[in-house]
A = this chain, B = another copy of it.
Amino acid sequence: MKYKRSERLVFMTHHLTSNPNQLIPLTFFVDKFNQAKSSISEDIRIIKDVFESDGIGIVKTTAGAGGGVSFQPKISVSRAEEIIGRFMKMLKTKERLLPGGYLYMSDIMGYPNLMNDIGELIATMYGEEEIDAVVTIATKGISLANSVARKLNVPVAIIRKDNKVTEGSTVSVNYVSGSTRKIETMVLSKRTLEEGSRVLVVDDFLRAGGSITGVINLMEEFKARVVGVSVLVEAKQVENRRFNDYTSLLKVSDIDEFNQAFLVEEGNCMDYVWNDEKRFND
């Protein structure tokens, strides 16, 4: 069967976007379509132009014997604003304040489309970093970690607060929960993360930062390097947070449990999308 250019473009667009950050040898398309390399290169140029002008991502081609094409998700500023806006709107609906001033977010974490889009946003922010794995803490961070890792094409390592028989040998650290001041334990299966990995830590909520500090300590046990920390929501006006270098999508403050009222504003993430965008347009 001979494919027309229009048909090749449909197949190739799907194949590239289904395999983000993965090098696809040009020969894969050459063989599949039984076409000259020059035609395939021209197809890729068309895809590249649309992806860049429509804020979908970057298409990179590398020459030579081991060469090929890869797609790196990189969303535009306007798309990032749209995603954050949608997330903010969701956070403002319903009565989300729970006893103790905790914010109910499990429903939001359960919307795969929003998580996918936020995954693209975070992958855009950290797209220039070399990352070997995404690390998160069970349970609520997992959906987010999956989306980010899928876009970065790296595995996820899930830290647990209990030690299950199905995890094999584990490494554990104790940490002080920033909110409750209780001492808790977190464990990570030895096999889930390679020693010396460069990791991106993601989580749903950042309050005093006790558990993220625990993660950073646990990463030291794995000789891993934390290249970034990214959270969906941070509580503003918290004193004595134990680390400062992180990104957040939203900030909440002035939590008034009695009146079910709180303020939401944009976090610092747009600074990073904007920086990327500038680099991208240079």
Which of A's residues lie within 8 Å of B, judged by CB?
5-7, 9-11, 13-14, 17-19, 22, 46-47, 49-51, 54, 56, 94, 98-100, 102-107, 110-113, 115-116, 138-140, 142-143, 146-147, 149-150, 153-158, 160, 164-168, 189, 191-192, 205
Q: Which residue in chain B gives the minimum CB-CB distance to A149? A: B112
Which of B5, B17, B110, B139 contacts A160 (CB under 8 A)? B139
Chain B neighbourhood of A107, CB < 8 A: 155, 191-192
Is the Cβ of A104 less than 8 Å from the Cβ of B47? no
Is the Cβ of A18 less than 8 Å from the Cβ of B17? yes
Is the Cβ of B7 less than 8 Å from the Cβ of A10? no
Chain B neighbourhood of A10, CB < 8 A: 9, 13, 46-47, 50-51
Chain B neighbourhood of A111, CB < 8 A: 155
Which of B9, B110, B167, B205 contacts A158 (CB under 8 A)? B110
Say how far A2's CB is from chain B's closest CB, in angstroms: 12
- Assembly stoichiometry (copies): 2
Q: How far is the CA of A276 from the CA of B19 in the complex (A)?
A: 25
Chain B neighbourhood of A5, CB < 8 A: 6
Q: Which residue in chain B gives the minimum CB-CB distance to A165? A: B102
Say how far A33's CB is from chain B's closest CB, in angstroms: 11
Chain B neighbourhood of A116, CB < 8 A: 18, 150
Say how far A169's CB is from chain B's closest CB, in angstroms: 9
Which of B54, B143, B154, B165 contacts A146 (CB under 8 A)? B143
Q: How far is the CA of A51 from the CA of B13 in the complex (A)?
A: 11
Is the Cβ of B106 less than 8 Å from the Cβ of A146? no
